[in-house]
Chain A
Amino acid sequence: MFSILRTLWNILLHSFRPRVTIQYPDEKPYLAPRYRGRIILSRDPDGGERCVACYLCAVACPVDCISLQATEDEHGRRYPDFFRINFSRCIFCGYCEEACPTYAIQLTPDFEICEYDRQNLVYEKEDLLISGPGKYPDYSFWRVAGVQIGGKAKGESEREDAPADVRNLLP
């Protein structure tokens, strides 16, 4: 009996508290940048595609909803020929972002991706690729990797000596 009265009293008090519920979609909530929503593929500071098609996100994904194919440009820079995420399967766990060695794949605070037709939840590279570097404005994998690409010869990465002269026998 007492507990019922106490409950009623509490409810009455709550009706004078400030509202937490907001009038979505008229009002939008604040979401932190690290919120795990719609996935994008970002670009290097130089504007090139950041993804190097290493397949690590694909293998990390617990529901196996990422599929891609690696290819290379004529100078040896690797990138995905196609890159597909099936968002109808994605559980927004963020493992892909965590696995990515280049910061290419990032989850964003956008969750409004519902569709009436599930087929529309299959995103291809064109749908995923954004024009900027996303959350990591400065990092460029190619500046630290040892392979040569267009515009960066051997020995021109960070903390690299010039290529060795292998004919030199001086100690």
Chain B
Amino acid sequence: MKIFVDNRPFDVHAGQSLLQACLTLGFDLPYFCWHPAMGSVGACRQCAVKQYKDEADKRGRIVMSCMTPVTEDLRISVKDAEVSAFRAGVIEGLMISHPHDCPVCDEGGECHLQDMTVMTGHNYRRYRFNKRTFRNQYLGPFVNHEMNRCIQCYRCVRYYREYTGGRDLDVFALRNLAYFGRYEDGVLENEFAGNLVEICPTGVFTDKTLKHHYTRKWDLQMAPSVCVHCALGCNTTAGERYGSLRRIVNRYNGEVNGYFLCDRGRFGYEFVNHKDRIRQPLARKNGRLRPVTRSEALSQLRSILSGAKLAGIASPRASLEANFVLRALVGPERFYAGVSEAQYRLTAAIIELLKTGPAHTPSLREIERSDAVLILGEDVTNVAPRMALALRQSVRQAAFRLAEKLHIPVWLDHPVREAAQDLRSPLFVAATHGTKLDDVAKEAFHAAPLEIARLGFAVAHAIDASAPEPANLSEEMRALASRIAEALKGASKPLVVSGTSLNSQEVVDAAANVAWALCRIGKPASLSFTLPECNSMGLALMGAKPFVEGMEAVRNGEADSLVVLENDLYRRTSRENVDALLATAQHVIVLDLLANPTTAKAEVVLPAGSFAEAEGTLVSSEGRAQRLFRVYAPGGDVQESWRWLRDMMAEAGRQEATAWETFDDVLGSTAQAIPAIHGAVGAAPPATFRLAGAKIPREPHRYSGRTAMLANISVSEPKPPEDADSPLSYTMEGYPEQPPPALTPYFWAPGWNSIQSVNAFQEEIAGPLRGGDPGVRLIEPRPGNGYRSCVSEAFVARGEAWLLAPLYHIFGSEELSPWAPAVSELAPQTYVALRPDDASRLGAEEGQEVEVQWNGTAHRLPVKFRADLPAGVAGLPVGLPGTECAGLPVWAKISKPL
């Protein structure tokens, strides 16, 4: 439809607010309380424009653009003198008590309030009276609180309470004393609290981890990156200064993470800077690992590699390219996936389900738009956190439908919420214990893994009678299944979420049956599986052999030496197995970032580049191949795993390795050799890409200190490092034009220094990035195939033993993030979770140690009560130091030690 802005006609989409339309058109219209993901509330009065009745109307009236829908032939003025003065007046009011903090404020330089103040032209303080002040709160290791800077836009509480469902942040007091914080000091409970840093347009909430090595946005060398802390592949911007990684911020990708990250992804980055990083090659001499030079290491490798029968252990947290060069080094016959047996089978099965079944894997945006969801066996918040935030939004679909019926625009946030009250589209959670999504779930079902699978099969059968039905269903479960089936059938975009958390083939099969049954009755159902690691999907697509076969090959002498790529094998199988494997192998070569039990047993350890020091392609659980880029050139001997492996090949006299000079060479060979990941080549433009003949600068145009930062070493500035692997450069020189989305190192637009500048990079506000959201989907469904057969035997609790179910912790269960001090502060100590009645049967109190025996090993663990566990089931946290958890669930004996 057509609107007139300052008498110029523009074409805009119907159904949006005037503010959105103006921003899409590129007008500099200031705002505070509106947020593209949260809609409008009209709280700040900053977005005023003048609206005219018709061409003849010269007086017009001031309206809030965020509260005004676009209508045909709407006439407005942004520039009008009166409305400009109004906006300047509003900001002057907001700034009355604003402290004189910019120089010591971490928001400075990327502050939306600064930008809006400059934009409105308010530049002189007239108010001469006292400022109100507040005391700050301790909010945990992630977020810093400086309340004086608040302008009462209410974004934080709207985000925290309404968007994420958090309870412990609120607004207190009244009038100019409105206080945004917790009831009392304490760690913010919500897993998405870190987004407050970007949500808050001022410096009230800032990144506390950044504060410890504070750097302004303009001084960061940045590159597009992808989060490595779970399999969802959220896009991030990583920034470096003086050779250390300084922070992660969200990088908008309309299909994936949108505007938000989880706290593990935002604050887990500090493992890169950890003092235990392996930064030099290590070699074993006289039984001890000692640092050696690169050439010593390579010559030692040469002697190891000559005549060795190598087996390679690939990694679900290394890039496709690194895994591929390992495959080339050891040969596809001896290329083993370094994941637990259960994970191996499950991911393979999942790929088959997704590739041969009719249900497609949704992006996070599609998940957000699903209007009925069944979660089978996943604690999504702790396993794939960002997906939980998307699922939480999905329940609002019913509210949006209602709003449409009532002719309320969906972006008019509070009227929609008022109209909907508690109306939610159905979400069902079936898990082994209570999850954080239970509060928006229509029903939550807590049962043993087998029962969860049976419920899934029953739902599938209730949807389509030709799907197999589990025998001996209880009446209760049958009724629940039919309620779920009805809800899913009534939806227009139903979604089934499951995953590998429970290590259960049955659960995964059941999820597929539900989605397929929906497809069969003509619903466009989607099916999403969470996976444990950032490249679990990529590794599975590469067709490596299972780890057990690798262990077997070493045991029977088919292979005598191991090359372990970025993998702590002790996380994959029992200690006994790994000890035996590493003892049998004559030579063990390990490439990794951080010292771990596997590197401790290696003969040679090579320093691998982390995600910030290497480029690579990761495939997310959606099946989306995404490229991440080096943020900085690592100093010393650290280099990408693929380069180490290539060097090893060259040492072994393998000619083909010499052809792999740059990343694109390896990527090309990878894609050619493995058809399943052929599409990965398109994830980003090649290194030869140029924008107006120039590379894309990683450093912003205001990068400072160029001629001083290294002057203490030598006053003659070194040439910046070259990057032959990507179209990005380690300089600030380049054409100031928007690069392709996959190559956008940071969001910054004239007049918009904060992260809100992303508006200028989108085709339309909150829509796809200009040029398309990055990433290439590698997995598409194929309609038609039969159901998975179902399990029939029900779960039976055993009096004397418990089924140990895996419990996941967003902070602690993943391998890398606990190396970040802030994350480790929130990671729990290991424990065993028992129902209070079970514990009292054992005579154990909370916190007391009990002896837990499984797979022939005994562990002493403190008890933690969890009343939400089903009878006969106990819980064991995954991935925390001190317990072996590969292969859960298992039956365990629990007793009170004497």
Which residues on A are within 8 Å of B, measured CB to CB? 52-56, 58-59, 61, 63-72, 78, 84-86, 88-89, 101-102, 118-119, 121-122, 124, 141, 144-148, 154-155, 157, 159-169, 171
Residues of A near B716 (CB, < 8 A) are 118
Contact between chains at B704 and A58 (CB < 8 Å): yes
Contact between chains at A164 and B134 (CB < 8 Å): yes
Partner of A84, one of B128, B172, B211, B708: B708
Contact between chains at B101 and A145 (CB < 8 Å): yes
Q: Is B146 an interface residue (CB 8 A)?
A: yes
Complex CA distance for A55 and B175, rounded to whole angstroms:
35
Contact between chains at A163 and B130 (CB < 8 Å): no
Beta-carbon nearest neighbor of A100 in chain B: B103
Complex CA distance for A66 and B708, rounded to whole angstroms:
6
Contact between chains at A145 and B100 (CB < 8 Å): yes
Contact between chains at A101 and B103 (CB < 8 Å): yes
Contact between chains at A67 and B709 (CB < 8 Å): yes
B403-446 Cβ-contact flags toward A at 8 Å (1 or 0): 00000000000000000000000000000000000000000000
CB-CB under 8 A for A124 and B712, given A145-B99, A171-B174: yes
Beta-carbon nearest neighbor of A120 in chain B: B715
Contact between chains at B130 and A161 (CB < 8 Å): yes
Residues of B near A141 (CB, < 8 A) are 100, 103
Complex CA distance for A121 and B130, rounded to whole angstroms:
46
Contact between chains at A122 and B711 (CB < 8 Å): yes
Complex CA distance for A154 and B707, rounded to whole angstroms:
39
Beta-carbon nearest neighbor of B172 in chain A: A166
Could you list 18 further interchain pairs (A-B, Cβ under 8 angstroms) beyond the known A56-B103, A157-B133? A55-B215, A59-B109, A64-B707, A66-B708, A67-B705, A68-B705, A69-B215, A70-B215, A118-B716, A145-B104, A146-B101, A146-B133, A146-B146, A146-B148, A146-B149, A161-B132, A168-B173, A171-B175
Q: How far is the CB of A16 from chain B (nearest CB, A)?
A: 48
Contact between chains at A85 and B708 (CB < 8 Å): yes
Complex CA distance for A141 and B77, rounded to whole angstroms:
41
CB-CB under 8 A for A146 and B705, given A54-B108, A72-B211, A155-B133: no
Q: Is B891 an interface residue (CB 8 A)?
A: no
Q: List 28 A-B contacts (CB under 8 A).
A: A52-B103, A55-B219, A59-B218, A59-B219, A64-B703, A65-B708, A67-B711, A68-B705, A69-B215, A69-B242, A78-B104, A84-B708, A86-B711, A88-B715, A119-B715, A122-B708, A146-B99, A146-B131, A146-B149, A147-B99, A154-B136, A154-B148, A159-B131, A161-B131, A165-B173, A169-B173, A169-B174, A171-B174
Contact between chains at A163 and B133 (CB < 8 Å): yes
Complex CA distance for A160 and B133, rounded to whole angstroms:
7
Complex CA distance for A165 and B101, rounded to whole angstroms:
22
Contact between chains at A159 and B134 (CB < 8 Å): no
Contact between chains at B704 and A67 (CB < 8 Å): yes
Which residues on B are within 8 Å of A, measured CB to CB? 99-104, 108-109, 128-136, 146, 148-149, 172-175, 177, 179, 181, 211, 213-216, 218-219, 242, 702-709, 711-712, 714-716
Complex CA distance for A163 and B712, rounded to whole angstroms:
44
Q: How far is the CB of B190 from chain A (nearest CB, A)?
A: 21
Partner of A64, one of B109, B173, B175, B708: B708
Residues of A near B211 (CB, < 8 A) are 72
Beta-carbon nearest neighbor of A88 in chain B: B715
Contact between chains at B216 and A55 (CB < 8 Å): yes
Complex CA distance for A23 and B706, rounded to whole angstroms:
39
Q: How far is the CB of A7 from chain B (nearest CB, A)?
A: 46
Residues of A near B108 (CB, < 8 A) are 54
Complex CA distance for A161 and B707, rounded to whole angstroms:
44
Residues of B near A66 (CB, < 8 A) are 704-705, 708
Contact between chains at A167 and B173 (CB < 8 Å): yes
Beta-carbon nearest neighbor of A77 in chain B: B104
Q: Ordered nearest first, which 7 A-B pairs have the shortest CB separation?
A: A146-B99, A67-B705, A54-B103, A67-B708, A64-B706, A58-B704, A166-B179
Residues of B near A162 (CB, < 8 A) are 133
Complex CA distance for A163 and B177, rounded to whole angstroms:
10
Residues of B near A147 (CB, < 8 A) are 99, 101, 104, 146, 148
Contact between chains at A160 and B174 (CB < 8 Å): no
Residues of A near B181 (CB, < 8 A) are 166
Complex CA distance for A160 and B130, rounded to whole angstroms:
5
Complex CA distance for A163 and B131, rounded to whole angstroms:
10
Q: How far is the CB of B357 from chain A (nearest CB, A)?
A: 54
Contact between chains at B177 and A164 (CB < 8 Å): yes
Q: How far is the CB of B94 from chain A (nearest CB, A)?
A: 15
Q: How far is the CB of B565 from chain A (nearest CB, A)?
A: 35
| A-B contacts, CB under 8 A, total | 145
Complex CA distance for A167 and B181, rounded to whole angstroms:
12
Complex CA distance for A37 and B179, rounded to whole angstroms:
48
Complex CA distance for A126 and B571, rounded to whole angstroms:
49
Complex CA distance for A69 and B212, rounded to whole angstroms:
10
CB-CB under 8 A for A63 and B132, given A102-B103, A164-B177, A166-B177: no
Complex CA distance for A49 and B707, rounded to whole angstroms:
24
Beta-carbon nearest neighbor of B714 in chain A: A119
Complex CA distance for A121 and B148, rounded to whole angstroms:
42
Residues of B near A146 (CB, < 8 A) are 99-101, 131, 133, 146, 148-149
Residue among B148, B149, B213, B216 with most chain A CB within 10 A: B148
Q: How far is the CB of B149 from chain A (nearest CB, A)?
A: 7
Residue among B128, B181, B213, B712 with most chain A CB within 10 A: B712
Q: How far is the CB of A139 from chain B (nearest CB, A)?
A: 12
Contact between chains at B133 and A161 (CB < 8 Å): yes
Contact between chains at B715 and A58 (CB < 8 Å): no
Residues of A near B129 (CB, < 8 A) are 159
Residue among A89, A146, A157 with most chain B CB within 10 A: A146
Complex CA distance for A157 and B130, rounded to whole angstroms:
10
Residues of A near B702 (CB, < 8 A) are 59
Residue among B109, B130, B214, B215 with most chain A CB within 10 A: B214
Partner of A160, one of B103, B131, B175: B131
Complex CA distance for A161 and B148, rounded to whole angstroms:
11
Beta-carbon nearest neighbor of B148 in chain A: A146
Contact between chains at B135 and A154 (CB < 8 Å): yes
Contact between chains at B173 and A166 (CB < 8 Å): yes
Residues of B near A171 (CB, < 8 A) are 174-175
Complex CA distance for A109 and B706, rounded to whole angstroms:
26
Residues of A near B215 (CB, < 8 A) are 55, 69-70
Contact between chains at B100 and A144 (CB < 8 Å): yes
Q: How far is the CB of A90 from chain B (nearest CB, A)?
A: 9
Residues of B near A155 (CB, < 8 A) are 133
Residue among A148, A163, A166 with most chain B CB within 10 A: A166
Complex CA distance for A86 and B181, rounded to whole angstroms:
44
Residue among A55, A84, A121, A162 with most chain B CB within 10 A: A55
Beta-carbon nearest neighbor of B213 in chain A: A69
Contact between chains at A122 and B103 (CB < 8 Å): no
Beta-carbon nearest neighbor of A122 in chain B: B711
Q: How far is the CB of B732 from chain A (nearest CB, A)?
A: 9
Complex CA distance for A78 and B144, rounded to whole angstroms:
15
Contact between chains at A121 and B715 (CB < 8 Å): yes
Residues of B near A118 (CB, < 8 A) are 715-716
Beta-carbon nearest neighbor of A71 in chain B: B214
Residue among B102, B131, B705, B706 with most chain A CB within 10 A: B705
Complex CA distance for A66 and B705, rounded to whole angstroms:
5
Complex CA distance for A155 and B99, rounded to whole angstroms:
11
Complex CA distance for A83 and B150, rounded to whole angstroms:
31
Contact between chains at A101 and B172 (CB < 8 Å): no
CB-CB under 8 A for A54 and B715, given A67-B709, A147-B146: no
Residues of B near A122 (CB, < 8 A) are 708, 711-712, 715
Residues of B near A102 (CB, < 8 A) are 103
Beta-carbon nearest neighbor of B180 in chain A: A166
Complex CA distance for A141 and B103, rounded to whole angstroms:
10
Complex CA distance for A124 and B715, rounded to whole angstroms:
13
CB-CB under 8 A for A58 and B219, given A89-B708, A121-B715, A171-B175: yes
Partner of A55, one of B172, B177, B213, B704: B704
Q: How far is the CB of B103 from chain A (nearest CB, A)?
A: 4
Contact between chains at A164 and B704 (CB < 8 Å): no
